[in-house]
Structure 1
Amino acid sequence: MAIDPSNNQWKTLDKDLGRISQVEYAVQYVSRPMVGVGVALAFIVVAALGALLFFGQQPSSYVVIAAAAFGAYMALNIGANDVANNMGPAVGANALTMGGAIAIAAIFESAGALLAGGDVVSTISKGIIDPASVEDAQVLIWAMMAALISSALWVNLATMLGAPVSTTHSVVGGVMGAGIAAAGLGAVNWPTMGTIALSWVVSPALGGLIAALFLAFIKAKIIYTEDKIAAARRWVPVLIGIMAAAFGAYLALKGLKKVIKIDLEHALLIGLVSGVVFYAISAPFIRRQSEGLENRNKSLKKLFALPLVFSAALLSFAHGANDVANAVGPLAAIVHAAEFGAFAGKVSIPTWVMVIGAFGISFGLFLFGPKLIRMVGSQITKLNPMRAYCVALSAAFTVIVASWLGLPVSSTHIAVGAVFGVGFFREWHAERRTRANSHKRGPGKSIAPEERRRRKLVRRSHFMTIVAAWVVTVPAAALMSGVIFLVLEAVFV
Structure 2
Amino acid sequence: MSEDVVLVIVVITALAFDFTNGFHDTANAVATSISTRAMSPRLAVGLAAILNFAGAFISLEVAATVAGGIVESDVITTQIVFGGLIGAIAWNLATWWFGLPSSSSHALIGGVVGAAFVAAGPDAVLGDGLLEKVVIPALVAPTLAFLVAGISILVTYRLVGRQRPGVVNRGYRLGQVITGSMFSLAHGTNDAQKTMGIITLALIASGHLDADGFDVPFWVIFSSAAAIAAGTYSGGWRIIKTMGSRIIKMDPAQGFSAQASGAAVVLTASHLGFPLSTTHVISGGVMGAGAAKRLSAVRWGVAGNIVIAWVLTLPCAAAIGGLAYGVSRIFGEGALGPIVVALAVTGLIAAAFGSRVRRGPAITAEA
For normalisation by structure 1, the TM-score amounts to 0.62
Distance apart, 1:179 and its partner CA = 1.7
Which structure has the bigger radius of gyration?
Answer: 1
Which residue is 2:108 aligned to?
Answer: 171
Distance apart, 1:367 and its partner CA = 2.6
**1:94 match: secondary structure:** coil
Amino acid at match of 1:413: H
Question: Is residue 2:11 matched to residue 1:68?
Answer: yes
Amino acid at match of 2:78: I
Out of 127, 143, 162, which is 2:80 matched to? 143
Given that 1:200 and 1:471 are in contact with CA atoms closer than 8 Å, whether structure 2 keeps it comes out as: no
Out of 297, 306, 318, which is 1:466 matched to? 306
Per-residue CA deviations over 1:451-488 (Å, capped at 9, x if unaligned) read xxxxx322233212110010011111111111111122
CA 1:304/1:469 → structure 2, altered by over 3 Å: closer, same or farther?
same
Which residue is 1:417 aligned to?
Answer: 284
Per-residue CA deviations over 1:212-237 (Å, capped at 9, x if unaligned) read 000000111211x3xx2xxxxxxxxx
Question: Is residue 2:155 matched to residue 1:217?
Answer: yes
| Aligned pairs (5 A) from 1:76-475 | 76-113=19-56, 115-118=57-60, 121-122=63-64, 125-132=67-74, 134=75, 139-195=76-132, 196-223=134-161, 225=162, 228=163, 296-340=164-208, 344=211, 347-399=214-266, 409-428=276-295, 456-475=296-315
For normalisation by structure 2, the TM-score amounts to 0.82
Amino acid at match of 1:379: R
Given that 2:189 and 2:267 are in contact with CA atoms closer than 8 Å, whether structure 1 keeps it comes out as: no
Amino acid at match of 1:314: M
Q: What is the total number of aligned residue pairs between the two structures?
A: 332
C-alpha distance in structure 2 between counterparts of 1:398 and 1:79, whole Å:
19
- Which structure would you say has the larger RCO, counting Cα contacts within 8 Å and 6 or more residues apart? 2
C-alpha distance in structure 2 between counterparts of 1:383 and 1:127, whole Å:
38
Question: Is residue 2:324 matched to residue 1:484?
Answer: yes
Distance apart, 1:368 and its partner CA = 4.0
Per-residue CA deviations over 1:134-163 (Å, capped at 9, x if unaligned) read 0xxxx5211111111211211121111111
Given that 2:248 and 2:290 are in contact with CA atoms closer than 8 Å, whether structure 1 keeps it comes out as: yes
C-alpha distance in structure 1 between counterparts of 2:331 and 2:186, whole Å:
40
CA 1:77/1:209 → structure 2, altered by over 3 Å: closer, same or farther?
same
Given that 2:190 and 2:275 are in contact with CA atoms closer than 8 Å, whether structure 1 keeps it comes out as: no
CA 1:488/1:407 → structure 2, altered by over 3 Å: closer, same or farther?
closer
Per-residue CA deviations over 1:331-357 (Å, capped at 9, x if unaligned) read 2222343353x7726543333333332
Q: CA RMSD in A?
A: 2.6
**2:60 match: secondary structure:** coil
Distance apart, 1:360 and its partner CA = 2.0
Amino acid at match of 1:468: I
Runs of 4+ in 1 over 6 A off after TM superposition: 400-408
C-alpha distance in structure 2 between counterparts of 1:401 and 1:361, whole Å:
21
Query: What are structure 2's unaligned runs of at least 5 residues?
Result: 334-367
**1:492 match: secondary structure:** coil
Given that 1:123 and 1:346 are in contact with CA atoms closer than 8 Å, whether structure 2 keeps it comes out as: no
Query: What are structure 1's unaligned runs of at least 5 residues?
Result: 1-57, 229-295, 429-455
C-alpha distance in structure 2 between counterparts of 1:479 and 1:61, whole Å:
26
Distance apart, 1:101 and its partner CA = 0.7
Q: Percent same amino acid among aligned pairs?
A: 28
**1:83 match: secondary structure:** helix
